[in-house]
Amino acid sequence: MEILVCIKRVPLSGAKFSLTADGRDIDTSRLGFTVSPHEECAVEVAVRLVEQHGGSTTVLSLGVEDAEEQIRDALAVGIDEGILLVTDGEEWDAQATAGAIVDAIAESGKSFDLILFGNESADASGNQVGIRVAHALSRPTLSGLKGVQVSDGVLVGERPAGSVREVFEVSLPAVATVKDGAAIPRYPSVPGRIRAKKKPVHRSTPTRPLSLLAKQSVSVPESVGKQTKILGSGPEGISALVDVFRSIGVI
């Protein structure tokens, strides 16, 4: 089985984002980078499926040259090769991204049985690149999966919906978008990291089409300036907290 996984490099910040001077983007000069947990799970699902059924895996990212770091992270946990579609850092909207991925698939000469995406990217939250790629390739898609199995050429997916889990089945070749929780991602081992350095990463430089969803500016929402009441340090705060429980009616 040949599997492709698509991942996006995004800044990692635990605190409030600061913006660039022109207000058009996040100031990433002091931030680390990562991929969405959904995509980490997609990578793990791909590696597990190939461990189970044999085959090979490819990871693809459209992003700046430094996105090689996220590709190498995926290679370190068992993905076989990488494709980096190099951009100049300008934002590509979901349609443009899907188009570039479809072109890269054609160029790779491979006929991937399964193409995996995150349900949504961490930053843009478009919820759509995978579904757009599926339509361009006339393939069935299952989205938002928290369970992915393959048996006898059939993709079986499931996801929680209220008090039940919905189960879907489509024949391969297919596209699936997965969510955090679909599999616990493994940590890269030291030998894995070393092997990753030698794995091939193919590059190409697609041309960005005009954005039909064009970002103009960003802003950080006002936090609801809460007055935090410190009830105490250590156990001395406990009786005050029990009073809070009483006053808000939970005991």
Ligand X SMILES: Nc1ncnc2c1ncn2[C@@H]1O[C@H](COP(=O)(O)O)[C@@H](O)[C@H]1O
**Residues forming the site for ligand X (CB under 6 A):** 6-8, 36, 38-39, 60-63, 94, 97, 117-118, 120-121, 124-130
Give min distance, CB of 215 to ligand X, in A. Answer: 12
Q: Which residues contact 187 (CB under 8 A, 6 or more apart)?
A: 77
Give min distance, CB of 244 to ligand X, in A. Answer: 39
CA distance linking residue 82 with residue 152, whole number of Å: 27
- Tokens 């361009």, residue? 136
Q: Which of 102, 122, 136, 231 binds ligand FAD (CB under 6 A)?
A: 122
Nearer CB in complex with ligand X: 1/134: 134
CA-closest candidate to residue 142, choices 126, 159, 121, 125: 159
CA distance linking residue 187 with residue 73, whole number of Å: 9
CB 175 within 8 A of CB 134: yes
Give min distance, CB of 49 to ligand FAD, in A. Answer: 23
Q: Rule CB under 6 A: which of 7-66 touch ligand FAD?
A: 12, 14, 34, 36-37
Nearer CB in complex with ligand FAD: 104/145: 145
Buried b (16+ CB within 10 A) or exposed e, 52-75: eeebebbbbbbbbeebbbbbbbbb
Select the binding partner of residue 34 from ligand FAD, ligand X, another protein, none (C-beta < 5 to 8 A, by kind).
Answer: ligand FAD
- CA torsion 215→9→137→47, rounded to 10°? -160
Nearer CB in complex with ligand FAD: 3/35: 35
Q: For residue 155, what are its two tokens?
A: 């993709």
Select the binding partner of residue 62 from another protein, ligand X, ligand FAD, none (C-beta < 5 to 8 A, by kind).
Answer: ligand X
- The residues of the shown chain that bind ligand FAD, judged by CB under 6 A, are 12, 14, 34, 36-37, 122
